[in-house]
Structure 1
Amino acid sequence: MRVSDEDRERTTQQLQRAFTEGRLTQMELEDRLEIALSAKTYGDLLSLIDDLPAEQPRVGDVVELESKSGNLKRSGDWAVPRRLRVSSKYGSVDLDLSQAVITHPVVDVEFDLTYGYAKIILPEGAVANVDAFQSAWGNTSTGGVPSRPRPGALYVVVSGRAKYGGLTVRYPRKRWFTH
């Protein structure tokens, strides 16, 4: 998977901390920084830090949601992390981003579903790429949601798999009230 500028920056900061802790020499730091700044994939970055102590994820960076038999649901005013890993064995997953607090231009959602469906409701104008999501015995539906990044629009990248289930990504339904 390709890395972002933010991923490169986070890796360079980890390398600089390792240098200040005496874990890297000046020469090692310079060599690794050069590679980090031109890295294209996560594999490139991981090879630079795999011999260093693991860092704890920053708050809001990665959140893991897991359920064995119940449904997972997030809606309303909730803080969406940059990376969301969702695992459900027997149950559905509903992620409503339409009213959520999202401070990142890109949100990565990774599913590991065995039996059950996932639904993501996007804010109006957001886009979602589901090309990296695989469903063995279910459907993947985007309901007309564009998949290419757009300037200023939230970009949700969905990956992972569903063995016996599928994925729906859509905008909120319009409500019509009668008086």
Structure 2
Amino acid sequence: MIFFYSPQRGQKSFRFQIERWYVEKKLGEGGFGAVYRVRDQTGQYALKVEGVDEKVQVLKMEVFVLTELAARGGRHFTRIEDKGRFGNFNYVVMTLVGRSLQDLRKERPTQCLTLACALSVGIQCLEAIEDLHGIGYLHRDVKPGNYTIGRPELRELRKIYILDFGMCRKFTNDQV
């Protein structure tokens, strides 16, 4: 069920609820949909939505890949909490992560990471790709904006996550 609340004076958008998820804030928007920070009784999560009429259904691929990675013990991936269709959109609720490597690098005065940090981040980024290839998928959109750190309040600042599997494609051994 979805509920809409009237905006308070000065607010630009409505607050709403989808099933048990209370939408708190829009985090971003892209060509295929939008991402929101949501909350339920257990904590905060990320909600990705896309219209059911989209020609390319990227959430379907995202859910499939993340489900397979979870079954194989993937090390650097968000966990799916909920998924479904509501009205005219599909949605998936997953682990809320921290800021992207792209944003973190841009904040640095030199726009560079320290050697120790770069090595740790690089190793974890490669581990994520290795796990993805291990289940037979190519990411096809590897970039600093699709890697994030964990959330500070969960003490995950040194953990790297890879995101955005909508462009993934399965490969076979004869394609390698």
Q: TM-score range by the shorter chain?
A: under 0.3
Tell me which structure has the larger Cα radius of gyration.
Answer: 1
Structure showing the higher helix proportion among its residues:
2
